[in-house]
Structure formats: C-alpha cells, structure tokens
Structure 1
C-alpha cells in the first residue's frame, strides 16, 4: 500500500512539474504571434503532449503548438478563421427537421417569398431579441417564422407583450412597436395565443434561452447574430 501511495504521489509531482515547465521560446513566440489579440503573459507545457497552457491574467487557455487552435470555456476556436469549431459541430449533430415545425404556431415576417428561411424563438422583452429585430430589418430575401417564446421568469411582462403581438390585426407592426419602438401594448380581451404550445415545443427542442435561431437545414444557434453574419450562417458559410 505504501508503495502504491508513493507511486501515486510521484506521478502527481511529475504532472505538476510537467505543467509548470515553460514552453520553448520558439513555441511561445509562435503561439503569441498566432493569437496576437490575446494578452498572453506566459506559455507552459501541459500534461498532454502537444497542448500548451496560456496564462492570461488569472485565466488559463490552451492551444496547440501552432496557436491555430485555442481551447477556451469548453470550446475549440480556429484562430485563423475565427470560427467556434465546437459550436459548429454541435449545430451539425443537433439538427432538427425544419419541415416538422408547427408553423401555424408562428407568424411570418421578412420576405414572404424569400428563398432562405429562418425560424426564431423570440421573447418580446429580451434585450438581445430586440437587438436582433433591428438586424432582421437589414436582412433581405429571408422568410422568417416568429415563434413567440416569452420567458416570464426573466421578463414579467413578456407574456402580455407576446399575446399583444399575436392578437394584433398587424402582428409585424405590433412586434415593431414593442420590440423596436418600446411601446407597452396589451392584448385584447378573448385573445388566444399559442404561447403554451410554443413553450412546450421549445422545451422539446432543448431551447432554454432567446433568441434561438433555426436555419432551413435544421441547424440551431442560440444567441444574437448581426445581419451579415446571420445571412452567411443561413447559407451554410
């Protein structure tokens, strides 16, 4: 037993020493040059061969020898193309069948004859959803299906605003009035909006935040995107 403990302690010490070993100057220089927008203070060898620790303030990132691939926050980034490779892969493996979305629970905005299609799960009071609305006005040739998805635990008035949009004579005008112009609208009496159905659908699809975007090929993306980047994403670029 003592021998086993001694071996275990020896391995731990060995790993600790290996992790603390400074990377060769040439490697450190190459990584810093490749990731010049990150204020790297020092580069050390990690316990995994070919992977290096990057010290940035009180945070540690990881990168390969060339500095092209960066690991941060559980994601792998291509520093050359600025792509989040982990997010891209997640979108590929978590695709849904767009044709099976209950589009009668959504309303159309954008270009009704657009060749590109987009579904959005949106909360009328979500700051990033409102920011996205301004970007969508710059997006041409895209047919957008809006699923109203109010998160009341975060935005107490979101459901009322969602119902006001759905039950308005002009849903897009009401959406703009609330989400871009900042008006406080309420639904008419007897309004029946598919809010509960949308919440159940979102839960089934694993949607926990807004905005959540779904491309025509079934890829999903959680969060805001500017118009130019959104168009490229819809086109699979």
Structure 2
C-alpha cells in the first residue's frame, strides 16, 4: 500500500512487514554536511485556482476524501481529461469533472469520489474471494470462538513482528467474536529458512501449537511433507499482498495489516453495516464509505 492512499482517503493504517526493507528517509528533513538534520523549508503557498476550473474541481475532490490534505501542486496531466496533483511527494490524477481519483503505481487504485468508493478494491475483493475458495479450510490454521460473528482470513509469516503481535492477541480476537483462518505467506520467499519453518508448521500434527511456538521463537521440529504452502504463497501474491499480515474479510475486502482486536471488530461491524445499507438501496444504490 502507498502512503498517499492513507493520506488522501484516510483509511486504516497498514501496519505490516514488507517483503523488502524500506530505506526511505523520513520526510521533512535533509542530511546536513555535518551528519545532522535540518528542517526542509516549506514551499510558498500557490494561488487558489478559479472556481469551476478543472484545477479547482481536482482540489475539491481531494478535499472530499480528506480535508486535511493540501496538494503542493495541481495542473493539467499528461493524458487528456485529467488533472495531476502532487501530494506528499506522490502523484494523484483527478478527472477534470472531479468525479474520479486515480492513484498510480504498484497496487494503484481508482476512486469514485462522489460515491466514496474504491472501484479497484471492489474488483480485487471479488477476485480475492474466488482465490480463497481454492484453499480448503482443512489447509488453514484456524483459531475460532464457539459462535463467531465474523471470519477473517489472515496471510501470516512466522518471522514478521506485526504477525507475532497479531497472534499474541489471538484470544482477544476470538473474544471479539472473530474467527481467524491463517494462510501461509513466507515473505522471504520460497526455499528460504522462513519458508522451511512454515512448511514444518503445516506438517506438524498440531499446527496451532506449532504456529504459536514458531511465532514465539520456540524450537519446532523440522518436518517435510506435501503441503499447500506453495499454493497459499501464490494465492497471496495474486491477491495483491505487499506485506504481512494481510487481513481479508469474508467478501475479499482487504482490511489492513495489524489491527488491534477491538478496532478490527469495529471495522467488521462497519463493513457489515455498509453492505446492508448498499443491499437495501438496491441496484444503483449509494456505496459504503471508505
């Protein structure tokens, strides 16, 4: 996920372990010749565009999604019909009528500003739901309360700190009425030590205990057997995973990375309410909020 997605849309922060280390420096500072830092000088504020112009509509569109975000620059985009806005060092494209906002790059997303709907996520959610059906529950490691209100699928890794934090609170997720179905995603890649540990977990006679032990740095017996770990890893990649954990709702909606138990329950409640509202509105009804 890109920073701008959360800056503009105000979505849940994705706390996850990336597949590659992030070497980006913190914004707002530059290295001095003495090795220290000094604050970067803020650019002078640009004159507000005339009301009713494509530039003004682009600013209004961004403001509808997050009023706190102030683009550094807005002007005509290289392709016709769009304005190009620079926000926090990243580029956003807004249609000249202000209706659609596009976040380019890897994992780019297209938003319907008026409906406050992520059109790309809608398409991806449907695909993820179908992908998850290819992995039976018998191949997942499940931690569930007696009568769960919700079920989420979580792509996890035994080494990732956020995955370990999530699992350390698994009892509380269950108390919140949330069943967790784990799938394997060894973020260091197939054949890595991480991968071998996860294969050992999936080959263990008690997968739940083995997973808990692995996440707590307890020694687990190396094992080898026929597993679906490779398939799960492939499904994670095809589902658009960029870091672990990745939490998916039953409909395939990506909820974020690590989310505290109570916050996850609140997110699922809101998702269910939005879904019910959309269903009651019928075809063409308003979409749920972002």
Alignment coverage as a number of residue pairs: 209
Match of 1:103 in 2: 137
1:28-39 residue pairs with structure 2 within 5 A? 28-34=55-61, 35=63, 36-39=67-70
- Contact 1:41/1:54 (CA < 8 Å) preserved in 2? yes
- Contact 2:81/2:96 (CA < 8 Å) preserved in 1? yes
Cα deviation digits, residues 19-50 of structure 1 (max 9, x gap): xxx99521344543542433323322336554
Match of 2:193 in 1: 156
SS at match of 1:52: strand
Deviation at 1:134, TM superposition (A): 5.7
Q: Give 5+ residue unaligned stretches, structure 1.
A: 1-21
- Contact 1:214/1:221 (CA < 8 Å) preserved in 2? yes
1:130-209 residue pairs with structure 2 within 5 A? 130-133=164-167, 137-138=172-173, 140-153=176-189, 156-157=193-194, 159-160=196-197, 163=200, 167=204, 171=208, 175-176=211-212, 178-179=214-215, 183-188=216-221, 191=223, 196-203=227-234, 206-207=238-239, 209=241
Cα deviation digits, residues 157-203 of structure 1 (max 9, x gap): 4532663587375825x645654xxx3112236x5666x42222442
Deviates more, 1:29-38 or 1:142-151: 29-38
SS at match of 2:71: coil
* Higher RCO (C-alpha under 8 Å, 6+ residues apart): 2
Q: What root-mean-square deviation, in Å, do the aligned CA atoms of Structure 1 and Structure 2 show?
A: 4.1
Change (3 A) 1:166 1:109: farther
> Would you say 1:229 and 2:256 are equivalent positions?
no
Match of 2:34 in 1: none
Instruction: Tell which structure's C-alpha radius of gyration is larger.
Output: 1
Match of 2:82 in 1: 51
Match of 1:6 in 2: none
SS at match of 1:96: helix
Matched residues in 1 for 2:151 and 2:235: separation?
21
> Would you say 1:126 and 2:188 are equivalent positions?
no
